[in-house]
Amino acid sequence: MRVIASAPALCKRGRHKPEGDTGLRYLRLLYVQVLIGVVLGVLVGALWPGFGAALKPLGDAFVKLIKMAVAPVIFCTVTAGLARMGDLKAFGRLGLRTVVYFEVVSTFALLIGLVVGEVLHPGRGFNIDPRTLDPAIAAGYVTKAHHGPGLAEYLLDLVPDAFVGAFARGDLLQVLVLAILAGLACSRMGEFGEKVTAVIDDIGRLFFGIIGVIVKLAPIAAFGAMAFTIGKYGVASLVQLGALIGVFYLTAIVFVLGVLGAIAAVSGFSILRFLAYIRDELLIVLGTSSSETVLPQLMLKLQRLGAGKVTTGLVVPTGYSFNLDGTNIYMTLATLFLAQATNTPLSWQQEAALLGVAMLTSKGASGVTGAGFITLAATLAVIPNLPIAALALLVGVDRFMSTCRALTNLVGNGVATLVIAGWEGDLDRDRLAAELAQGPAAGPEVLLSGAEAD
């Protein structure tokens, strides 16, 4: 039986008002610090490009630190939750509903990218001759795409070679498989299983505490990552392909507010309040261009919103591979852009084939920067008359596109978790309403007591 903290208790635990000057109070807020880091990073990258590009390790180190703790958090959360749940049939129903939701919403995202590309024609007027493009620029991405695993190989890869190997590689799906097996085992071992579950729960608290310490470095990471992006690729690349970037961001906003907003409204909560609730995570993703950097924080906040541990532990890490709404929009929209920019006509049969192939290639792409570009290279294989060298047009701005993909993916997985938890009766709706009305607890310190969310 889950113990739900009351709204006043939550306020007392993490929402005390900071004392002192109003300006200093706001400077203590994580999202304000990250925003300042992003702005300073843009300025440094624009004014001193060489120095800005050299700051890349600041962002990379933060991503590595977070990824170090992600796998243990998922394992502990899912194992402990499933062990206490002890209902294999209910867990199977949860998994089926998760897959159905992901497939339906992902298809909507692909269709929206296709429709917007046809209506707004972001590539019209470029008139680029593919023969003038350097095929070597995109060759590396094409090679990675061609060496992707087949279906049988992909399914086999879900099973780790060794228990610790999944953690060492940070393979979230393999860790999820291990967590499910461990949770089911604990649920069948009686009193001993309960003791093991309690220990695993305590270990989970430890790793949430570690992440709480790491998250304090987010402003520095955002500064370094943004300085690198602007310093290396420059503002000129944004101007050159501004139409595509603008259309992509606009499409993502329409998808989040329109499609996800409608889904949220039907499920009983406001998408705008949800976005405000995860503002810290959104700004960290904006700075680092990777949604993996906030996976543990997102899981904790969803639990604070009333979603159960089992639902959160299954839906979020699975969604990071199978529910990539931003990546889906990007694949169809970017393909049409390349076709229009190179004056390559596409028949409706080719567009239908593009949609079908994208539904497959988009599954399994991770939240890491650049994965969407590799997936795009694999998807273009369905259109033989569209030269693969055209990918060179997007290399310079993919970092900026990756940020939008990561932001959309993050929101999509958060909404999916709350919706599916509601379907499963694993969502405390009173707590959800109270939390969204009050807003998130201030500061990364909330992660230090992460286990209190359930």
pLDDT value, residue 408 = 95
Model pLDDT for residues 45-100, shown as the tens digit of each residue: 989 999 998 998 998 899 889 888 888 988 998 898 888 876 677 788 888 999 89
1 found inside a domain: no
Model pLDDT for residues 321-336, shown as the tens digit of each residue: 888 899 889 889 988 9
Radius of gyration for the alpha carbons in the chain, expressed in angstroms and rounded: 22
CA gap 293, 217 in Å, rounded: 12
CA-based nearest residue to 5, from 13, 71, 114: 13
pLDDT value, residue 446 = 54
pLDDT value, residue 426 = 92
- What residue numbers bound the domain in which 110 lies? 7-453
CATH number, residue 169: 1.10.3860.10
Model pLDDT for residues 418-431, shown as the tens digit of each residue: 999 999 999 999 99
226 found inside a domain: yes
pLDDT value, residue 23 = 62
2 found inside a domain: no
CA gap 131, 205 in Å, rounded: 57
Which residues is 427 bridged to in the sheet?
A: 307
CA gap 413, 318 in Å, rounded: 9
pTM above 0.85, yes or no: no
411 found inside a domain: yes
Q: What is the mean pLDDT of residues 257-261?
A: 96
Which residues is 307 bridged to in the sheet?
A: 427
CA gap 267, 230 in Å, rounded: 39
412 found inside a domain: yes
Number of domains in the chain: 1
448 found inside a domain: yes
113 found inside a domain: yes
CA-based nearest residue to 401, from 440, 369, 439: 369
What one-letter code names the amino acid at 162?
A
